[in-house]
Structure formats: structure tokens, C-alpha cells
Amino acid sequence: MSHTDETGTRQRDTGDGLSSSDDERPTIEPTVSPSTAALGVETLTKQFGEVVAVDDLSLGVETGELRAIIGPNGAGKTTLFNCIMGTLDPTAGTVYLSGDDITADAEERRPHLGMARSFQSNQLFADQTVLENIRLVAQTAEQGAFSMDLLRSHHTVGRERAIEIADDVGLQANLGTEATNLPHGEQRRLGIAMALATDPDVLLLDEPTSGMSPGATAETASLIEDIRDERGLTVILIEHDMDVVLSISDRLTVLDRGSIIATGPPDAVQGNQVVQDAYLGGMREEI
Ligand SMILES: Nc1ncnc2c1ncn2[C@@H]1O[C@H](COP(=O)(O)OP(=O)(O)OP(=O)(O)O)[C@@H](O)[C@H]1O
């Protein structure tokens, strides 16, 4: 049986509640049921007064998938992330992590449930070294409580793991450098390392390459791919750099005015005329 969705793409009902397109053309979400996906949101809405930043949106990201969320400025990408991480309470709708409804779980609890977001530069412990920054997060995750005393003492809790994680993100040569003295690109890598220190199943990355040189951008993109491959992580990434998005994503989801207009593999979304005309063309010019 098949039906036509609102993008005009013919969908084949697979009998398990899922749909698949007859070819490589983009589909609308959800590609998997939100309530069984590694990470899902169902009929999620977030309003700020009159502004509907996220509008009745549903999506499902598969385990091990690398999903990019793209769209023009103001499309609702950051608001969606904030609702997923519990930074914002949705106005309506549900957030699922591995089938569990986590909508009411506090933001602080979400890392313990298996999801993490890269730390921003202003969240780093500026006068602590790279190793100490990662150890602090690793220790907090292991022991369930934050304590600077652990650093001052000779405890080795988290040290080996922290060194491994620094190695994974290419910061092995900077272990003794204070966070404040790291160049911008390395600070962003440290932010990813600190998220990894909580040992997440689902990792959210908010513009991980912003402000980076083309060389550092390419390195960070391949680093994200490697981390996903080695750890079997599910990665959801907001990214404006279309070269990064097209090269590393399994699927792209295109947002506009709080709604999904298309989801699909990079080639399919890139080749979709509606998306091309309305968004990718404009976004390329912004870069
Ligand atoms: N705290 C807030 N209060 C009021 N309106 C907000 C707030 N946060 C976001 N908005 C509005 O919600 C809409 C979506 O914003 P959001 O930042 O989520 O978009 P975005 O896709 O992340 O944009 P950008 O690519 O520019 O970061 C915009 O109209 C924005 O002005």
C-alpha cells in the first residue's frame, strides 16, 4: 500500500507502522517511530508568546545514525535542541530516549540517562587544564556528584578515561594546557570531549565547527564521524556548513519555521528541488 505525503513523495507502508520512500527522494519525518527510536520527539511544540518556534514536530533518529538538522536562521533548530535536552520545557509534545518518555526529566538528569550536549566555551573550567576539565565531568558522571576536591587530591578516578577521551578528540598534546589558553577550535573539541566523558548513547552537537578555519572544520567533521563509528553513538548535529553536513550525515532534516519540510540522505535532500530552491541555495550564500 502506498500514499503520498505532504512533500509529494510516494510512501510505501511497510506494515510495521513505518514508511519508506520508493526511491531516494526525501521523506517527511518520522523515519522511525519516535517512541522506539534512539531519540525521538512526538508532536513537539514550543511557543514563546505568539512565536511558534517549534510547531507540532515529530522525528525519530535511529541508533548509530548521524543526523544533521539544518534550516535558515530562526527555523527552530536551537529551540528543538533545548527542548530535547530539557533546557526548555516544551509547550506540548513528548521527548523519548530509547523508548522512555523523558519529557518531565530535569536537564541535570539527562546526562545520567545517556544523552549529552557538547559543552560551550563559556561552560569550560577556564583555569583548569584540558585533562582536569575532562576528569571533572568523568568523575561527576561516575560518582554522581561534582567536587573540585577530587582534583586537588591525588585521586586517579577518571584520569585514565580522561586521557583516552582527550586522545579520541585529538587533544593528547594539550593535556596540561589551561582551557582558557586553548585556541578556539581546540576549545570546541574540549567541549565535545567533556560531553563524551558522561559516556552518552546520544550526543547532540550545536554548530561544532562554527568559527573554525576550513582545515579545522574538515578535521572536526572527520573526528565526529570517527567518534560515532568507534563508539556506536547516535549523533544529532546542528550545522550551517553544508560541506560538513553533506559529507558526514546519514540523513538531513530540513526545518523551516518550526516544521520539517524534508528528511533524507544528503544526496536526496540536496537534489530535492523544493529544498534546493528554498533553503540550500540561500544557505550556501550565507557561508
Ligand atoms: N527565548 C526566546 N524568546 C522568544 N523568542 C525566541 C526565544 N528563543 C528563540 N526564539 C524565537 O524562536 C524562533 C526560533 O529560534 P531558534 O534560535 O530556535 O532558531 P535557529 O534555527 O536555531 O536559528 P539560528 O540558525 O539563527 O541559530 C525565532 O523566531 C526566535 O526569534
Domain with 84 in it: what CATH number?
Answer: 3.40.50.300
pTM: 0.85
147 pLDDT tier (thresholds 50, 70, 90): low
Strands 202-206 and 39-48: unpaired
- How do residues 211-270 score in pLDDT, each as one tens digit? 888 998 999 999 999 999 999 999 999 998 989 999 999 999 999 899 998 899 998 888
Q: Which helix (H) or strand (E) holds 106?
A: none
Pick the range with the lowest mean pLDDT from 14-18, 172-176, 248-252: 14-18
Q: Is the pLDDT of residue 197 over 80?
A: yes
Is 220 within a domain? no
Is 132 within a domain? no
Is 222 within a domain? no
ipTM of the complex: 0.98
Pick the range with the lowest mean pLDDT from 124-128, 157-161, 196-200, 221-225: 157-161
Is 91 within a domain? yes
Is 165 within a domain? no
Best mutation site among 46, 47, 77, 82 for ligand 1, i.e. most ligand atoms within 8 A of its Cβ? 77
**Contact 207 CB / ligand 1 (< 6 Å):** no
- Residues 261 and 212: their CA atoms lie apart, in Å, by 29
Is 71 within a domain? yes
Q: Looking at the 3D structure of the chain, how many domains does it have?
A: 1
If you measure from the C-alpha of residue 50 to the centroid of ligand 1, how many angstroms do you get, rounded to a whole number? 12
Q: Is the pLDDT of residue 5 over 80?
A: no
If you measure from the C-alpha of residue 204 to the centroid of ligand 1, how many angstroms do you get, rounded to a whole number? 18
Range of the domain at 104: 28-112+236-286
* Segment 67-93 mean pLDDT: 95
Q: Is the pLDDT of residue 204 over 70?
A: yes
| Assigned C-alpha cell, 63 | 541508533
**Contact 82 CB / ligand 1 (< 6 Å):** no
Name residue 96's amino acid. Answer: Y
Is 203 within a domain? no
Three-state DSSP class for 148? coil
Is 205 within a domain? no
